[in-house]
Amino acid sequence: MILKAPSGKEVNLSIINIEDLKPHEKTISELLSSLITDIHTSATQKDPILVDSDSHIVLDGMHRLEALRSVGARFIVCAEYNYLDSSVRLERWLRRIDDRGELALKILTGIFNLKPCASQRDAVAQVNSDKGKVAVLTGSGALISSESLEKLEAYSRMARFDKICMLEGLKVAFASESSVFDHLKSSSSLIVYPPMLTKSEILEIAKSGKLLPWKTTRHIVPLRVLGIEFPVEILKKNDEIGKIQESLSSTLQGRDIEFRLPNTIYEGREYPEPLAIFRPKKRIC
């Protein structure tokens, strides 16, 4: 089933065999358990998983993939995009600490061997030009890693930081890279600014079977499709994939589609891209 974004780019809603999908990030047990419970309650896959149409690498939806696998799904509803097209944007998630910044800074200094940097903007520029650097930005200044790391090593150390924060009771929030300097207006905020990965590197990592930490990449697509609510029982069937695809098309053709502009909120989450939300068809009285 093809949907068109406002830009004219096409999004293909398709059924894909679960074993053909390749994640590129790890999952966390708390969120995975919550999604499994939600699937048991709703008995549906609520939203499609975002994938590259060529390689079937999962761009967004790692937890949904594992949750559906765990309940016995053989197939998954996916929204397919041409990953290498410029209409699909790749950004990075930043770690943000708002409390107990001194402890967080001590942990980060030990992990990344930090040294002072001239300014916040200079630190960001160094990370973006020297791909193996990691910066730590505070309301009053900046530090940067004293060595250039392989990117996988840099993100492995990020995962170590996440684990230590959990053990120490440090609350880690996530910020988009476009909002980094807004968060630093608060003197108590601390931002971890990691190296940027390229699309080619994401493809290579996923194809190798390696996994990045949770919340490493942020993908922004031409049109995000939500609210499909497709029955999981159909996804469990031992049918030909064509029959499952026919069931999907039949189900969605009986729905209305609500289009929303970028930066609107749906079910408590703000999305940076345009939305296409499937709704039950309105009855005409």
Mean pLDDT across the stretch 165-189? 82
Average pLDDT over residues 211-227: 94
| pLDDT at residue 127 is higher than 70 | yes
Distance CA 226, CA 47 (A): 5
CA end-to-end span of the chain = 29
- Domain-located, residue 206: no
**What per-residue confidence (pLDDT) applies to 192?**
94
Q: Across all residues in the chain, what is the average pLDDT? A: 91
Residue 71: CB partners within 8 Å, gap ≥ 6? 36, 39, 40, 232, 236
Domain that holds residue 22: 2-88+221-280
- Does residue 130 sit in the same domain as residue 44? no
Q: What average pLDDT does the segment 56-79 reach?
A: 96
The pLDDT tens digits of the residues spanning 71-109 come to 999 999 999 999 999 999 999 999 998 887 889 999 999
- Domain-located, residue 142: yes
Question: How far is it, in rounded angstroms, from Cα 230 to Cα 48?
Answer: 9
Is 215 contained in some domain? Answer: no
In this structure, what CATH number is given to the domain that contains residue 141? 3.30.1760
pLDDT above 70 covers a percentage of the chain that reads 97
Domain count, the chain: 2
Same domain, 109 and 176: yes
Q: Is residue 25 within 8 Å of 56, Cβ to Cβ?
A: no
Task: For residue 214, tell me if it sits in a domain.
Answer: no
